[in-house]
Amino acid sequence: MKGRQSGPVDSVQVLLFASLRDQAGWSDRCFPLNDPVVQTAREIWNQLELGDLPRVVLVAINQEIVSADHPVHAGDELAFLPPFTGG
């Protein structure tokens, strides 16, 4: 499944949820991929200057849970998900 492409083709759509969204002050951002070298989800997180990526945060690319070191490609949707609790 290909990610949605609401931004430029050479970009990634980054989504933050729940407490991550609250801490960052935004929920959805188009992140440009200026470097031709493939980047990982962790590298993009670091470039967003959100601090260290917490180990408990799940990473999803195109709605599939992956490791933080999974490569991200132009046009992908990259989501960072904090732990969920039931109730």
Domain that holds residue 49: 11-81
Q: Which are the contacts of 83, defined by CB distance < 8 A and separation ≥ 6? A: 56, 57, 58
Residue 18 covered by a domain: yes
| Predicted TM-score (pTM) of this structure | 0.84
Looking at residue 45, its pLDDT comes to 96
Counted domains in the chain? 1
Looking at residue 34, its pLDDT comes to 76
Residue 58 covered by a domain: yes
Residue 32 covered by a domain: yes
The CATH number linked to 76 is 3.10.20.30
Looking at residue 31, its pLDDT comes to 93
The pLDDT tens digits for 28-52 are: 999 998 766 779 999 999 999 999 9
Q: With a cut of 50, which residues of the chain have pLDDT below it?
A: 1-6
Q: Of the candidates 47, 41, 46, 48, which has an alpha carbon nearest to the alpha carbon of residue 69?
A: 41
Looking at residue 9, its pLDDT comes to 64
Residue 25 covered by a domain: yes
Residue 87 covered by a domain: no
Give the pairing of strands 58-61 and 39-40: unpaired
